[in-house]
Homo-oligomer: A and B are copies of this chain.
C-alpha cells in the first residue's frame, strides 16, 4: 500500500464520509481533510474522529491535497473541478464518485487541461437507500465493484493511484472507458431503478391494501424504489441517452413476453422464464 499523504474529500454525503472512514480505518491516507459547503456540516464534521481537518474553502482544500475525491451530486462535480482547477498543485489527482461518467470526465478533463493536475473518473457501486454523511460506513466498499474510467491520454501513474485507492478501501476495481461505463450502468443500475419505480407508481394507483398483502417477492423487487429522488433525477439527466436505449431493450423484451401470453404461446413463455432463471442463477451471490 502506498499511503496518500493528504486526501481531500469534497462535499461528503454517504459515499464521501465512507471514503474518509475507510481511508482512516485502513490507513490508506496519512491525513484526511474535508471541505463541505454548509458551515453547520463543517462544524459537525470537525468532531468526527475520521476527519483530521475541516477546511473552510474548496480552494484551500485543493491547494493542500495530493488526491481530491469530489463526492458531490453528479450535477455539481463539473463546476467544482473548474472552481478548484487554478488552486491544485502539480501532480495532484482529482477523482469523484459520480454514478454517470462520460459528461463529467469530458468536462473535468477540459477544466484541468491547462494545469499539471489530472482528473480520473470513479464510480463506486456502493449506494444504498440511505443518504447523508451520518450514514457513512468504513465497510461500505467491501467487495463492491468500483469503476475507474481513464482515457487513453491519462498518465499511468495517476490511473494507478486512483485504482489503488479504491482497492485499498475494499472495492473490486474495474477500468472501462467512461462511455462504456455509462452503457453498463444504464443496464445494471439505472434500468432496475426505473422498473422498481414504475412498479411503485402502478401499485400506488391500486388500493393500498393490495400492496400490504404482498410477500417478499414484491418487497425485494421494489426495494430500490425507495432511493433518493433528487439523486435519481440527476442520474436520469446525465445518462439520458444510454438509459433510453436500455429502456427500449427492456420494453422490447416485455412486448414479446406479452405477445406470447396474449397468444397463449406457452413454449415461448417457458423459454423466456427459463432464460431469466438461468441468467439469475448465474449471478454471484
Contacts and interface: CB of A to CB of B under 8 A. Distances in A.
Interface of A: 125-127, 144-145, 147, 174, 184, 187-189, 191-206, 208, 210-215, 217-230, 232-233, 236-237, 240, 243-244, 246-247, 249-251, 253-255, 257-258, 261-262, 264, 266, 269-270, 272-284
Given A192-B217, A211-B283, A215-B125, A261 B276 contact: no
Counting every copy of the chain, the complex holds: 2
A262 B283 CA distance: 31
A203 B278 CA distance: 11
8 contacts: A192-B199, A200-B279, A204-B278, A208-B282, A222-B280, A229-B270, A233-B266, A251-B255
Given A212-B284, A226-B281, A269-B233, A200 B125 contact: no
A226 B280 contact: yes
A244 B258 contact: yes
List of 4 A-B pairs having minimum Cβ-Cβ separation, nearest first: A200-B276, A197-B276, A229-B273, A225-B280
B272 A197 contact: yes
A251 B196 CA distance: 13
A51 B189 CA distance: 47
Nearest to A219: B283
A277 B226 contact: yes
Given A274-B229, A276-B204, A184 B198 contact: no
Contacts of A278: 204
Contacts of A217: 127, 189, 192-193, 223-224
